[in-house]
A and B are shown apart, each in its own frame.
Chain A
Amino acid sequence: MSATIAIIGMAVITFFIKALVFILGDRVAFSATLRQALGFVPVTVLTAIIVPMVLAPHGQGLEWSWRNPQLVAAAFSVLVCAVTRHQLLTIMLGLAVFFGWQFSLG
């Protein structure tokens, strides 16, 4: 019973956080600085999520090695994307290198 209450409370809190800005929308005015700052949110959030996943895929220490398939395939994907600017091609080649590398390392 208390677990169900905990879950429902989590749902209410999460919904409140996610929807608040959308709902108050018209009443929230964003300054020029804030807008400028928000323009940097995507690039920083996404980078902050993937860097630890790539450098320490097992959640332990740094795995700066060619034996780390996440690192090798991520570096390869950055290169392919910078050169080709093609999203789907990068994703397919990146995944191919990742699984190929992982498989060949056993």
Chain B
Amino acid sequence: MSMTTPRDDARLWRSTFFAGARDSIPMLVGAAPFGIIFGALVGTAQLAPWQGQLMSLSVFAGSSQFIAVGLMAGLAGTLVIWLATFIVNLRHMLYAAALLPHVQHLPARWRWTLGFLLTDETFAVVESYYRKHPHAPLGHWYFLGSGLAMYANWQFWTVVGLLFGAVFPQLQTLGLDFAMVVTFITIVVPQLARVPHLAAALAAGSTAYALKDLPFKLGLMAAVVVGVAVGVCLTRLHATEAATRGAP
């Protein structure tokens, strides 16, 4: 039984919710140029502005939206667009599986909502939160705060892109996406103290670079598979060695 009053609970979930939104601020900044560029590209795909906004509202997955607009501009068939969407977004299943232990106990409406709000950025922020607070009872409010902040941010910058996109052709070279890079670095670096994690990161990074020109972000998928395989093999090897050494 909880010893807190309803008012304490309300205060706690509210502060957890806003902590999730606040910790996502670098990601919000990092996503802004992508939202603007996406909005600006909508016109090139013979889409009406409302259709571009509909895509941001209903799909809410940046890289697949970019690819879809590129395919539509090239007059690709609907089935090709759907297949590309499936492949590019498949990585979210890995994210969901990693977060599942923290979400499993929630009512279905929470799981549907948090699933819809799952993105690269929110995964990075929320996964790092759960690693620091493995037993946080209100972690789902943190997840919701990060997800809704990213959602509102994406809608806002899509509108800005739709309205003004054509006026700022050089936004991509401004390099605001570096905010995302440096945020990811702060999440990755503390994990590299363990040898299997360092090896997994090196393997994933070099595979991703070597295969960066593969279509549909397949290089990213391959890099994750290679990196995870290296990490698991080294962990196993280490465990075997420790067991051998520990044997009398």
Q: Which A residues are within 8 Å of any B CB, using their own CB?
A: 2-11, 13-15, 17-23, 25-26, 28, 30, 33-34, 36-57, 69-70, 73-74, 77-78, 81-82, 85, 87, 90-91, 94-95, 98, 102
Contact = CB atoms under 8 A, between A and B. Distances in A.
Given A25-B103, A56-B209, A36 B181 contact: no
Nearest to A60: B213
A91 B30 CA distance: 12
B164 interface: no
A53 B91 CA distance: 18
Top 7 A-B residue pairs of the complex, sorted by shortest distance between their CB atoms: A19-B115, A44-B227, A11-B58, A48-B208, A21-B96, A40-B231, A44-B204
A12 to B, nearest CB: 9
Residue among B86, B123, B124, B208 with most chain A CB within 10 A: B208
26 contacts: A2-B78, A7-B55, A14-B89, A17-B93, A18-B89, A18-B116, A19-B118, A20-B93, A20-B96, A39-B98, A40-B200, A40-B231, A42-B98, A44-B203, A45-B220, A46-B187, A47-B204, A48-B223, A49-B208, A53-B177, A74-B182, A81-B185, A90-B185, A91-B179, A91-B183, A95-B182
A81 to B, nearest CB: 4
B15 interface: no
Contacts of A23: 108, 111-112, 115
B227 A49 contact: no
Interface stretch (B6-14, B189-197, B240-248): B189-197
Nearest to A15: B116
A102 B170 CA distance: 14
Tell me the interface secondary structure of chain B in the complex: helix
A43 B197 contact: yes
Contacts of B205: 47-48, 50-51
Given A10-B82, A95-B182, A47 B58 contact: no
Contacts of A15: 115-116
A91 B188 contact: no
